[in-house]
């Protein structure tokens, strides 16, 4: 039963990350620049196509993120999330091969060269989405029925996300640096 409750909270964690990324891609002031300076442009060999696909991915992330966070349990949304994370893993693998050293622009405007961390983060999200298949309730149920375990898991996931995401917002870079002793790299 505990695993089910921990699976329940994956909706929140993944929803918040997708919402954050989608908002930056769709509404971010620098999203156009981020897309045309990213590995996506190199892979597609077309800046306009990269911008269009970047915005579409942002809308998909935004939509999926909202559906993961609404207080209605849509079981199918976690399968859609898994499909999306499979696409993330594929993108990072292709980018590592065809555009090494180029920014991923995976989390919006903040440019950081694509690296093994990007791949590990994408695989981490894939694993969490697959784990979310076991969810049976709203995320709040998992938090209320197993508050200590759920809180520890969310804290661990957040810290791992911050460690694997050097391109997150500057506010989080400071937190990341103070927790892990990592300079903004």
Q: In this predicted model, what pLDDT tens digit does every residue of 73-98 receive, in sequence order?
A: 778 999 999 999 999 999 999 999 99
User: Which residue, among 40, 60, 58, has the nearest Cα to 50 in the 3D structure?
Assistant: 40
* Distance (Å, whole) CA 7 – CA 153: 10
Residue 49 lies in a domain: yes
| 110 within 8 A of 168, measured Cβ to Cβ | yes
- Position 172 pLDDT exceeds 70: no
Considering the domain boundaries, does residue 175 fall inside one? yes
Rounded average pLDDT over 107-124? 84
> What is the extent of the structural domain holding 133?
2-180
Task: Establish if 185 belongs to a structural domain.
Answer: no
120: closest CA among 152, 156, 89? Answer: 89
State how many domains the chain has. Answer: 1
pLDDT at residue 184 greater than cutoff 60: no
- Mean pLDDT, residues 29-52 taken together: 88
User: What does the CA dihedral 148, 133, 16, 50 come to, rounded to 10 degrees?
Assistant: 150
What was the pLDDT predicted at 90?
Answer: 97
The pTM of the full predicted model, rounded to 2 decimals, is 0.87
Q: Which two tokens stand for residue 145?
A: 């029925």
**Which of 119, 108, 113, 116 shows the shortest CA–CA distance to 85?**
119
């Amino acid at each position: 039963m505990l695993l089910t409750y921990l699976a329940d909270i994956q909706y929140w964690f993944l929803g918040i990350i997708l919402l954050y990324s989608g908002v930056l891609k769709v509404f971010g002031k620098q999203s156009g620049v981020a897309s045309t300076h990213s590995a996506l442009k190199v892979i597609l060999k077309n800046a306009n196509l990269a911008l269009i696909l970047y915005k579409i991915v942002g809308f998909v992330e935004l939509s999926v993120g909202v559906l993961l966070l609404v207080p209605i349990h849509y079981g199918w949304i976690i399968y859609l999330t898994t499909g999306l994370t499979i696409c993330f893993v594929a993108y990072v693998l292709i980018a590592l091969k065809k555009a090494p050293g180029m920014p991923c622009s995976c989390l919006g405007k903040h440019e950081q060269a694509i690296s093994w961390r990007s791949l590990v983060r994408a695989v981490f999200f894939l694993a969490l989405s697959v784990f979310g298949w076991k969810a049976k309730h709203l995320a709040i149920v998992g938090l209320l029925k197993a508050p200590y375990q759920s809180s520890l898991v969310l804290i661990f996931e957040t810290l791992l996300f911050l460690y694997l995401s050097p391109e997150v917002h500057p506010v989080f870079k400071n937190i990341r640096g103070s927790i892990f002793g990592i300079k903004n790299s």
